Amino acid sequence: MTEATQQLLDVIARILPPFAPPVRRCISNLLRNAGDFDSATASARRAGFRNRYDMARALKSAGLSPFTELAQEIRVLAWILDAGEEGGTLASIALSDGSDPAVRYRLTKKVTGLTWTEVNGCGRGWLLVQFLARLYANSERSRPSRSQAARASASSR
């Protein structure tokens, strides 16, 4: 991963929507590591959860994808940012990292619904906007509406 890609992922971590602190830490950790993680249990503990099941419940209640899917989205985002920075193909980046290009092409298609060529044609800005829009849309859905909050407040009186 290039330094510019890491800097951009760090910026994304700073502008995350107002999720609960452990959820923010979970996403920030994934961004810091470009979607790579050792285990869901270790990642959950680093983010402040008791176990991976608590993390899964918190991500779900925040309206987010499951942990491994979120990691995959961030991994693809890092790849497209690297490709834009280095001007290379996904295959050349994969080979320089010692990984299989076919795995990366399949994961890109799974995560985005588009081929690598289509994603690359849309540009890294497009993918970045898609990722942030999904996070912000989910953060809004996970919060109670004003009317729900008012009803909850009135019923607790």
Distance CA 94, CA 112 (A): 18
Q: Which of 121, 85, 117, 86 is nearest to 104 (CA)?
A: 117
pLDDT of residue 151: 44
Lowest mean pLDDT among 4-8, 18-22, 25-29, 52-56: 4-8
List pLDDT tens digits, range 111-155. 999 998 898 888 888 888 888 888 888 776 555 444 443 443 344
Please check whether residue 30 is in contact with residue 71, taking contact to mean a CB–CB distance below 8 angstroms.
Answer: yes
Taking the model in full, what pTM does it have? 0.81
pLDDT of residue 45: 97
Averaged confidence pLDDT in the chain: 84
Pick the more confident residue, 134 or 69. 69
Mean pLDDT of 83-92: 77
List pLDDT tens digits, range 22-37. 999 999 999 999 999 9
Distance CA 79, CA 104 (A): 9
Where would I find the H helices in the chain? 3-14, 21-32, 40-47, 52-61, 67-86, 90-97, 101-112, 116-122, 124-142, 146-155
With a cut of 60, say whether residue 58 has pLDDT above it.
yes
The secondary structure of 33-64, three-state, reads CCCCCCCHHHHHHHHCCCCHHHHHHHHHHCCC
Pick the more confident residue, 152 or 9. 9
